[in-house]
Structure 1
Amino acid sequence: MAMLSLLIVVLICNISEAAYYCNVADPCAHANASTFFEPYARFEICQYDSKYGLCDRYITPDWYRVEDAMLTECPNLLSCGALYPVWLNGSLPTEAEGIVDAKVCKVGFADCCSRNYDVKIRNCGSFYAYCLGALDSCSERYCFGEQGSCEVPTTTPTMTTTASPTTYSEEDDDHRHINLEIRLGAIFGVLVLIFVTMCIIYRKDITCMKCCRRGNKLGSTEDFTRKGGFEKQDIQNSAHSRENARCWSPPPPYSH
């Protein structure tokens, strides 16, 4: 029961967190100011190499600008610098469509979509902005582009940017407050559910204990009555024996 409650809380927190990191006023500006996680060797032609340990399990969920479009066709295993490449199961949006919800698929050994994830995409005109979450396991990576360099730096370079710092509007603050209220409300609901469930279980235990006590009392009463009946019967039998002894007289002695 405790494990189930914990899983519910974690699931609710993950859902509310996903809504939070994608909920920004201007995804294009936000993505333009973000540094994409391990941008190298994400092309379809880049083969998986275990020595690099590239994996999007450690990506910080956020909006990102990626110069190459996300792959829209199922790649082979060991592509995009990963054991399990992840591709866009659908088409890229037009600029007029705004922010769209999309599904991306993890390529498995059996099929092209052994697992899917939810992402958001915004066509910003000269580039696409992607709201990406962390993937489940290693080695899974998002695929971008078909042809390009597969070189992986031996050391992680220090990333510098001249982009202006991200500014948050009042709308962003409102979104934060709304998501915080949703998260707190969900956690409170789970706690109430746990409390009610525990009360029901406790009540059943009390009822069972009362039934057991009642049964023990009835058993004791029956034993007492049964014993009392036996003692009464013994007393009656004893009295009857004494009465017979008084009424009986020995036969006269035999004389010749």
Structure 2
Amino acid sequence: MKILLFITIALSDTSFASDELNPCVNYTTINNVDRRAVGNILKLGIVPSLSDDFLDNEWYRINSDAGEQMPTKAPGLFHCGTWYPIWLNGTLPNNVGEEIEGQVCLQGIYEECFTSWTIGIQLCPGNYLVYNLVESTNANSAYCFGTAAVNKELTTTYAATTTQTSVTDNQVGGFEPCIDHKLIDFQEKRAEANIFKFGEDVNISDDLLDSGWYRVQRDECGKMPITAPGLLQCGTWYPIWLDGQLPVSVGEQSQRKVCMKTFTNNCTYSWNIGIKLCDGGYFVYNLLRSNIALSGYCFGTSEICAVGNSDGIKDVKDTEESKANILMIALIVTIGVAVLVAIVILVLLCKKTKQPEKIRNYLVGGKTQNGNVQKMKCNKTDDSPPPYKRGVSISSLSPQILPDKPPPYCSRECSNVTIGEVKAACKNVDPFAMFTVKH
């Protein structure tokens, strides 16, 4: 009897070990799978490029509406949701249980197979494929799967708004989100009442979050806010909140829209995530990586969920003071900018009004802004410059002193003499005599 029991245990252990090594049983569902279809063209500036240079090396299964087969022809640049698509340069296995090593190519700008390497591919019982993928050698490159265009993960509602779908739930192989999940990082800082402090706190940024199922460890702080928090709340610049209602029935799992709060809008960006209410009264969330830096998911709507004193209760007074300080700094900066702009405008207006007046006064012969004639001056009859020397000429190489006096001259400079004095002094002046030498 003992021998039979020992044999039974040994066989069960062998079967368990074989399941662990069997890629048709032990695999991972790849993320962002619908975006990897050949028909999906990357929209630069709207959606970030997929990049498998950080992919974990392991077996993956593809569960996509676009299909699970890797394309066997070069898709084209910017297809498959990435800059440089990775495709299969060969054929897929045809027999159940067959495992092959296939060559995959990274499509470059000038070559369809810029660089290549091998991966494992197996056709499993149930007629589905699994791939033993390795990380890519280049950034902004990703594996392609499926040939149809699946655009449900990206729809534009207005110029600055995008909508995404949640990652695949991966229900194959007994996966249960209420059990198979991770605890969210920095959960004590994600409460709505927690205000980010410049220079003291590290900003939460879920653009580096691994997409998947998450739970907040403290059940009373596991609810996402359903109204838009303020900027700098939830320990981040741009809080992500739930635009809808949480599930109310145990076991209920549904897709819900989340929004990102920014300076200009409560819902500048939006996408869908999965939410499930588990037995025990806690929620799990199928979170997507955010597309915007300095943004983070919010969890916890009560004061007790925020980072605070030793008893776990947030000091509301400190929170309000921090918020008031931030608003005061913003107000001071705004006023300073307004004053600077006003000074610049005044300087430009002064230059614009004064400069033409100077030119106009000169052209009209000395009229001021109020229309009065400026007084001019003329030298007196006996007032003349000292004798001058004539320059070297052809007839004489030595300078010659001219005893003659030049006639009176008039200038346009202002003085206290009257216009009548100017006319009396200058009326008998022969303009040609000023330049005539008698000797």
Deviates more, 1:97-106 or 1:49-58: 49-58
Q: Which whole-Å CA distance do the structure 1 matches of 2:196 and 2:225 have between them?
A: 16
Q: CA, structure 1 residues 116+23, in 2 after alignment: closer, same or farther (shift >3 Å)?
A: same
Structure 2 CA distance for partners of 1:46 and 1:96, relative to 1, 3 Å: closer
Structure of higher CA gyration radius: 2
Report the equivalent of 1:145: 300
Q: How high is the sequence identity, in percent, across the aligned residues?
A: 25
Partner of 2:81: 10
Task: Using CA pairs under 8 Å that are at least 6 residues apart, name the structure with larger relative contact order, 1 or 2.
Answer: 1
Distance 1:44 1:120 in 2: 21
How far did residue 18 of structure 1 move? 5.3
Structure 2 residue corresponding to 1:104, chosen from 242, 249, 258:
258
Alpha-carbon distance, 1:26 to partner: 1.1
Matched, 1:69 2:140: no
8 Å CA contact 1:106–1:112 kept in 2: the answer is yes
* Equivalent residues in 2 for 1:201-220, closer than 5 Å: none
Kept in 2, the 8 Å contact 1:71–1:145? The answer is yes
- Per-residue deviation at 1:3? 7.5
For 1:60, the equivalent position in structure 2 comes to 210
The yes-or-no answer on 1:129 pairing with 2:129 is: no
The Cα of 1:78 is off from its aligned counterpart by 0.9
Q: 1:19 to 1:46 in 2, by over 3 A?
A: closer
More helix by share: 1
Match of 1:38 in 2: 186
1:29 aligns to what? 179
Q: Deviations over 1:124-177 (max 9, x none)?
A: 0320010001101221011111222326xxxxxxxxxxxxxxxxxxxxxxxxxx
Deviation at 1:88, TM superposition (A): 0.2
8 Å CA contact retained: 2:213, 2:287: yes
Residues 1:7 and 1:118: Cα distance change in structure 2 (over 3 Å): farther
Which of 87, 95, 102 is the equivalent residue of 2:249? 95
TM-score using structure 2 length = 0.31
Cα shift at 1:95: 2.3
Give 1:108 shift.
1.4
What displacement does 1:43 show?
A: 0.8
**1:239 aligns to what?**
none
Unaligned 5+ segments in structure 1 are 152-256
Q: What CA deviation, in whole Å up to 9, does each residue of 1:189-215 have, x standing for no partner?
A: xxxxxxxxxxxxxxxxxxxxxxxxxxx
Which whole-Å CA distance do the structure 2 matches of 1:100 and 1:3 have between them?
A: 28
Q: Which has the higher strand share?
A: 2
Please state whether the residue corresponding to 2:293 is helix, strand or coil. coil
Kindly report structure 1 stretches of 4+ aligned residues shifted beyond 4 Å: 2-5, 11-15
What TM-score, normalized to structure 1? Answer: 0.51
Change (3 A) 1:3 1:79: closer
Within a 5 Å distance, the mapping from 1:177-216 to structure 2 comes to: none
Contact 2:250 2:278 (8 Å CA) reproduced: no
Is contact 2:167–2:286 with CA below 8 Å preserved after alignment?
A: no
CA–CA distance in 2 between the matches of 1:8 and 1:116?
Answer: 23
Q: Can you list the C-alpha shifts for 1:34-86, whole angstroms capped at 9, x where unaligned?
A: 23222221111111235513211111111111232111111111110111000
Cα RMSD after superposing both structures: 2.9
The verdict on how the C-alpha distance between 1:44 and 1:3 changes in structure 2, with shifts beyond 3 A counting, is closer
Q: Distance in 2 between matches of 1:53 and 1:96?
A: 34
Count matched residues: 147
Residues 19 and 49 of structure 1: is their aligned pair in 2 closer, same or farther, counting only changes over 3 Å?
same
Q: What amino acid maps onto 2:227 in structure 1?
A: E
- The question of 1:47 aligning with 2:195 is answered yes
Question: In the TM superposition, what whole-angstrom CA distance separates every residue of 1:74-131 from its partner, at most 9, and x where no partner exists?
Answer: 1111110111000000000122562101110000112210000210000103200100
| 1:47–1:81 Cα contact (<8 Å) kept | yes
Aligned-partner residue type, residue 293 of structure 2: C
Q: 1:77 to 1:6 in 2, by over 3 A?
A: farther
Provide the rounded CA distance (Å) in 2 between the counterparts of 1:79 and 1:59.
19
Instruction: Tell me the SS of whatever aligns to 1:57.
Output: helix
Asked whether the 8 Å contact 2:196–2:203 carries over to 1, the reply is no
**1:118 alignment partner, SS class:** strand
